[in-house]
Structure 1
């Protein structure tokens, strides 16, 4: 005996909601998007043309598709025809893949995604899933939708541009010597501008035009042949000058695209080439990508931002600014790994933001080891006399204060150092172990007092039981989110190009990770 199965019997359509399980992820997507304030939808309103699909519906189907690891516009369109949860969220609408892709990259969608993060965090606070005592910050690199062999390097462009300036100056001097062109009023003696090169082309072009007229007016074969021979050189000059103009314009465009970066991809100008640990052997591969900075708590992504620089040190301050401006008020503790430990970052968090920085520095773990503490030639272990402001080396020689030095990094941040120098290093039996300075030069020591105070602050905070317990949560809080994103969601490469579009897709992917975890814990 079989259960009733008749294909030609009419079955009335039911509400698709009854087909979904009680804790289906579609319900969480629906409630999250419906919590977005109506004011955020006003930029999508249009008074002319065909009525558009509702932005709430479009955002719901994108979030739901990303939770199912479907990122292609065509595959999302296919899901709308055969997925019950997608049919229910779309309520019978079937936007094409072009409509889905156009909506995903709109600049107005960024505000909707931001509202999703704000509303989701409010929901987590309401249900007491996070305690708002700390945020955990870390970064990861995501591959851009760009060919890995389309790199342009800043050093190469600078080299070629410098050679082009020298060639153009040499050609200008040569033309002046041969009296082919008159002297031009130059803005700079170092290099010729595009306008000045254009004037040179015009002068040479006038000479070529005069030869053309003479050749056309002459009927003597020998004379015409001689004139053509004379015309050959200025024609070559004109071609060379036009090439210089085109190359100068190209290099100027390249420098505009570079900005503060050292490379960019021809396929996606906003992507920078970075080392990525992709394979199982952990061999660094150079690929175009974005540095994604993430703030988490309770293994939920609460805020994110994208940066072009591959290192994390210089991303912390602008990321914290963005969190305060667009997401939420910073909690008491800011937790991050040693990649963020710098004097500038400590000063910003402790002095400007009045928060506690639970951030280690590069030498923190090494300083805890017995070998480091017992190394007599390590300046940190040398005796310091605060009254006389001197250091005593292992050979009992005095290193007295000499002068102060100020160093400014690329971002304009200034660091102050005190320079100490040994009285006499000649004949020291420990010289080879103590310094690499040339024979005849005394050992010098650079000490940054502010940096030493900041390191002492970090060591003191991490020695406290409460703050150390918060710091130990970092690895089990922020790192799993990257694992969920790359391993579970299988989001390892962007499908759009350009920073603004990539930011939208990154926000959708991270919110999909949040919804997956929230549904599993509900």
Structure 2
């Protein structure tokens, strides 16, 4: 039987040189160099007034290193950060063997405020100085993440008013029952008293919230949005995995080295309204030749008119561009996959009624022929169906009543005499219309190339933040604090790019 050298596991006392734990080219080496030599932390220092009296405080540089290193390793909990500073050599080396309490770390992140934006701008300036920003294309995209807010506590003021009245009515009923009932055992009296106290406390909190918020929360479109009593600046938004209560994190990424040039968090799921703020915030970074790309969620007339008025080139597709692009032909075969071994071959369609697609419609001659080969006559050439222009046709009675395909053409053949069908007409677009111009730009070879470049630029960035950094939710409340936490994660991504491209090795 072979013999191998023993492997030691567990506790062992060793002398450790903290400086040698920070290997050149690693994230922690770039982080420590940035914090110690590049970043201006005077905004953090201004918060302390213990130069004459008071206990010594932890250096903000140390706290910042701990938080950023923890975020880069997928650690968000301040308790886990405190434990890492006691148990992990790398955290000891970065913090200089400091062991701040978890409440100190939590308060540092929560009270950072606008200082996170200043840190992000300073790191971005270092990236620019290292030549990592090409200014040829900025790709904009966003991700919807839940926040530290309860989805169940969302509603309008009318909803909350009804809830408060219902709680107060239930409390009065409990009091009345206690007055009319005979003497109950001591345990039941105590339980009823605690239940009544909780119900009255909830009603008082709800009334206080209504007094502090006299108006409904309105979104960017002016419509009344649902308020949230936990975090009123968050929003209820639909995602691919259901409805969440949270924020949308938006990032503008430069194509050259995938540097995030702007990061914002907004309490809305309407992406059309987020294009303008992202473009305006990157004005100091872009050049006159910088073009913007985004997905179809950011396509709107107002946004395109704003870009056109400013003379900013952009490639923002509409929702129907995939139907026009031959590269996406057959994509419907991959929309539903029960398992990895799902058969992607087209299945024979079951028998169903004829749809307008089965009728031969000639938009030039304004004629229509049914699947049985009979011509239909027009009975409405200027119709409006849900605000869209349409033309209607109806089959002749002599043809429809004697047709052998009535069962496939009419839903109720015994009641309906003739088939009617309508075709929507394309909207008349002017050549100078911004939507038509963008449509032509996207359908061009250059536009299709830009769509592919957008995918390759911004999607890996969100993959790094969501998967590698395990960012699955925001842990703070309030837009300013959530925006700061989102900027910290994007700042970590930029520091990784500095380390990867050989800065300070």
Q: Is the 8 A contact 1:263 1:273 kept in 2?
A: yes
Q: SS in structure 1 opposite 2:246?
A: strand
Q: Residue 136 of structure 1 aligns with which residue?
A: 139
Structure of higher CA gyration radius: 1
- 1:144-185 CA-to-partner distances (Å, cap 9, x unmatched) read 12334x232238539959x99xxxxxxxxxxxxxxxxxxxxx
Aligned counterpart, 1:345: 303
Q: Deviations over 1:325-383 (max 9, x none)?
A: 7x7668621100111111111001111x3211110011222245799xx989999x956
How has the CA–CA distance of structure 1 residues 16 and 448 changed in structure 2, closer, same or farther, with 3 Å as cutoff? same
The equivalent of 1:434 in structure 2 is 422
- For 1:85, the equivalent position in structure 2 comes to 90
Q: Identify which of 114, 117, 124 aligns with 2:127.
A: 124
CA shift in 2, pair 1:401/1:274, >3 Å: closer
CA offsets 1:64-83 (integer angstroms, 9 cap, x no match): 11111111111111222233
Q: 1:377 to 1:156 in 2, by over 3 A?
A: farther
CA contact (8 A) 2:74 2:471 kept: yes
For residue 148 of structure 2, the aligned residue among 137, 145, 149 is: 145
Q: 1:494 aligns with which of 474, 486, 492?
A: 474
Unaligned runs of 5+ in 1: 165-243, 278-283, 384-391, 403-416, 437-443
Is contact 2:142-2:249 (8 Å) kept? yes
The answer to whether the Cα contact below 8 Å between 2:308 and 2:434 also exists between their aligned partners in 1 is no
Q: Give the 5 Å matches for 1:292-331.
A: 292-297=249-254, 298-324=257-283
Deviates more, 1:133-142 or 1:24-33: 24-33
Q: Quote the RMSD (CA, aligned, Å).
A: 4.5
Give the Cα separation in 2 of the matches to 1:24 and 1:248: 53
CA–CA distance in structure 2, aligned partners of residues 82 and 521 of structure 1: 30
Which structure has more helix as a fraction of its residues? 1
User: Structure 2: which 5+ residue stretches go unaligned?
Assistant: 167-202, 331-355, 369-376, 397-417
SS at match of 1:137: strand
Q: How far apart, CA to CA, are the structure 2 residues paired with 1:107 and 1:61?
A: 14
**Residue matched to 2:248:** 291
Q: How does 1:438-449 map to 2 (within 5 A)?
A: 447=428, 449=430
Q: Which residue of 1 aligns with 2:486?
A: 506
**Aligned match of 1:46:** 49
Q: What is residue 335 of structure 1 aligned with on the other side? A: 293
Which residue of structure 2 lines up, in the alignment, with residue 270 of structure 1?
233
> How many Å separate the matches in 2 of 1:468 and 1:81?
52
TM normalised by structure 2 equals 0.64
- For 1:10 and 1:63, how far apart are their aligned partners in 2? 28
Sort the Cα spacing of 1:271 and 1:457 in 2 relative to 1 into closer, same or farther, 3 A: same
User: In 2 relative to 1, CA 318–21 (structure 1 residues): closer, same or farther, beyond 3 Å?
Assistant: closer
Distance 1:328 1:368, change over 3 A: closer
SS state at 1:494 partner: coil
Q: State yes or no: 1:95 paired with 2:100.
A: yes
Aligned length: 390
Task: Give distance in 1, aligned partners of 2:456 and 2:47.
Answer: 40
